[in-house]
Structure 1
Amino acid sequence: MAERHPKVATVDPVWTHICEEARAAVRDEPLLGGFIHSGILHHATLERALSYRFSLKLASGEMSEQILREIADEAYATEPTIGQAARADIVAVYDRDPACHRFMQPMMFFKGYQSVQAYRIGHWLWARGRRDLAYFVQMRVSEVFGVDIHPNARIGKGIMIDHAHSIVIGETAVVGDNVSMLHSVTLGGTGKEDGDRHPKIGNGVLIGAGAKILGNIHIGERSRIAAGSVVLHDVPSCKTVAGVPAKIVGEAGCEQPALTMDQLIDDGV
């Protein structure tokens, strides 16, 4: 793969940083040497490492690691934006999650990051008409990570999903760049209607734990959705909504709520 990404391989600060962290981790904890070497240090690029991780985590008696590895390798080789988004997602998790202290942590330990990268391969398959295989990836991601993202959903880069348990993102949902969400978020429909029926999340939105955003509605850029809210109507940009059903309770409180991860609602909103 390295020869197919010459520029990334030559100047790739994210991957270089991950490899440096990996070597330090092996020195600090030799018992993890095999795990870290097979997951990181045996690979020439981030794409190759992610391809290995994808195949290892999603393989089952129904689909071998080798076949899944070939699928992922093809996806990364033919669509460089998948690898670019993976790097932006790593930086996003490192910047926004106070539990993340190293770049290597998301790709090795965090199911939110790993599930999004697997979704990206499923989306690549869907876009090429390989829909049954895309559904298989969706199924395995749900079984392994507890995250259910339809392969037709469109998700931007710089995504951080913290904890990621019970995330549901529907078929026609759109998630912009630099969005942060916590566990148990649903971007769903409101019934049995067909067609375009899921939310459109603008850039820089922060979605709190347990929030449900339902229907073909638009959440404006840099807004905040409070934890536990049920959102049924459009939300303007730079606002905070809370409640069941959700209502506007103030401004977003800062210029980039998805980056600051400030979820407190007080008189300053």
Structure 2
Amino acid sequence: MQQVKASLTSIDPVWTTIRREAEEIARDEPLMASLVHAGVLHHRSLERAMSFRIAQKLASPEMSDLILREILDGAYQDDESLGVAARADILAVYDRDPACHAYIHPLLFFKGFQALQCFRIAHWLWQEGRQDMARFIQMRTSECFGVDIHPNARIGRGVMIDHAHSIVIGETAVVGDNVSMLHSVTLGGTGKEDGDRHPKIGNGVMIGAGAAVLGNIEVGHCSRIAAGSVVLEPVPPMTTVAGVPAKVVGKVSCAEPARMMDQTLGEGPDLKAPLGKPICGSSGCGGSQG
């Protein structure tokens, strides 16, 4: 089994690219050589590198980086889907964020990616019955990154959280695959309900900066929520909503709004698309929520 894992590591294109980029940084920016050696080149896999990086970020007088690395290494060894999701998240950021020019950038510099991987570890702990440790990871993630995601929430793969200031995702929220959201997004409750009380975000959805989606409502696959909107009602698939409270303003104008990241509204194709005709039919609307 170890030989199989070693061979898989050797053909891991994401990790291979990250290592090459780390070598280039060490060559071109000698003052960062120690950072990339300790954070990337010293490790034999992306999982080990992420474990090191996250432990560095979350360590505090209350819990050392060595203890955190033990927890993280155990999670990555027990559940290979954590590494798969991280690779999908790296590819999503590289594909959608014009400020990301290398696979290594999310791992080293982008707090949205780092916070999301912290959530994935906290969620694993929660599922394992280690809920107090999960809450500790949630607390430290919020303190370090300004991102507060309850460990019981479910988030799919290929997710980008851009800038990642003031992100709040509640206990019973579900976020599908290939979703993009910007800063100051809230997926919260209405304050009037108990139990299953948070939004269910479909695959391929784009959520603009400062948007709030409140209550146990569904946001359909490949839909788009404009910046600053407050969504209180279900959103049909392949639909754009905007305003306070949010109203339908048209159909999306592309197959993958979360990938295209088009946040403009107005007299464009978004408002001219026929309301009865599906536009989004790509694989971005498929997949499962994890």
Q: Tell me the TM-score range normalised by the shorter chain.
A: over 0.9
Which residue of structure 2 aligns with residue 33 of structure 1? Answer: 33
Residues 4, 77 of structure 1: 8 Å contact kept? no
Letter in 1 for 2:120: R
CA contact (8 A) 1:88 1:158 kept: yes
SS at match of 1:148: strand
User: How far apart, CA to CA, are the structure 2 residues paired with 1:249 and 1:229?
Assistant: 12
Question: 1:11: how far off?
Answer: 1.4
Report the counterpart of residue 222 of structure 1 in structure 2.
222
- State the TM-score, normalized to the length of structure 2: 0.91
Pairing 1:64-143 to 2, within 5 Å after superposition: 64-143=64-143
Contact 1:58 1:141 in 2 (8 A): yes
Q: 2:118 is matched by which residue type in structure 1?
A: A
Q: Tell me, in whole angstroms, the C-alpha distance in 2 between the residues paired with 1:44 and 1:255.
A: 38
SS in 2 for 1:5: helix
Q: Which AA in structure 2 matches 1:143?
A: E
2:3 and 2:188 mapped to 1: Cα distance?
A: 41
Distance 2:15 2:27 in 1: 19
* AA in 2 matched with 1:41: L
TM-score, with normalisation over the residues of structure 1? Answer: 0.98
Q: Could you tell me whether the CA contact under 8 Å between 1:113 and 1:160 is conserved in 2?
A: yes
SS of residue paired to 1:82: helix
- For residue 193 of structure 2, what is the aligned residue in structure 1? 193
Alpha-carbon separation, structure 2, partners of 1:178 and 1:200: 14
SS in 1 for 2:249: strand
**Post-superposition offset of 1:5:** 3.1
Structure-2 separation of matches of 1:165 and 1:146: 6
Letter in 2 for 1:249: V
Q: Which residue of structure 1 lines up, in the alignment, with residue 205 of structure 2? A: 205
Question: In the aligned structure 2, how far is the partner of 1:6 from the partner of 1:80?
Answer: 14
User: Cα RMSD between the aligned structures?
Assistant: 1.2
Distance 2:3 2:118 in 1: 23
For residues 140 and 71 of structure 1, do their structure 2 counterparts lie closer, same or farther at Cα, with a shift above 3 Å needed?
same
Alignment of 1:158-177 (within 5 A): 158-177=158-177
**What is the aligned partner in structure 2 of residue 248 from structure 1?**
248
Q: Offset at 1:193?
A: 2.2
Q: Residues 235 and 109 of structure 1: is their aligned pair in 2 closer, same or farther, counting only changes over 3 Å?
A: same
Deviations, residues 50-90 of structure 1 (Å, cap 9, x unaligned)? 00011110010000111100000000000000000000000
Offset at residue 4 of structure 1 (A) = 7.8
Structure 1: distance between partners of 2:77 and 2:171: 25
> Would the aligned equivalents of 1:204 and 1:259 in 2 still touch at CA under 8 Å?
yes
Q: Residues 131 and 78 of structure 1: is their aligned pair in 2 closer, same or farther, counting only changes over 3 Å?
A: same
Percent of matched pairs sharing the same residue: 66
How big is the shift at 1:10?
2.7
The alignment status of 1:59 with 2:33, answered yes or no, reads no
The equivalent of 2:50 in structure 1 is: 50
- The alignment partner of 2:27 has SS state of helix
- Note the C-alpha offset of 1:192: 4.4
Q: For residues 145-183 of structure 1, give each alpha carbon's deviation from its aligned partner in whole angstroms, at most 9, with x where no partner exists.
A: 000000000000000010000000000000000000000
C-alpha deviations, 1:95-133, integer Å up to 9, x for none?
000000000000100000000001000000000110000
- d(CA) in 1 for partners of 2:43 and 2:232? 46
- Name 2:277's counterpart in structure 1: none
> Aligned partners of 1:4 and 1:130: how far apart in 2?
30
Instruction: Write the distance in 1 (CA, Å) between the matches of 2:228 and 2:65.
Output: 38
**5+ residue gaps, structure 2:** 271-290
Q: Work out the CA distance in 2 between the residues paired with 1:179 and 1:39.
A: 28
C-alpha distance in structure 2 between counterparts of 1:232 and 1:32, whole Å: 47
| Structure 1 unaligned regions, length at least 5 | none
User: What is the match of residue 144 of structure 1?
Assistant: 144
- Structure 1: which amino acid aligns with 2:100? C
Residue 15 (structure 2) aligns with: 15
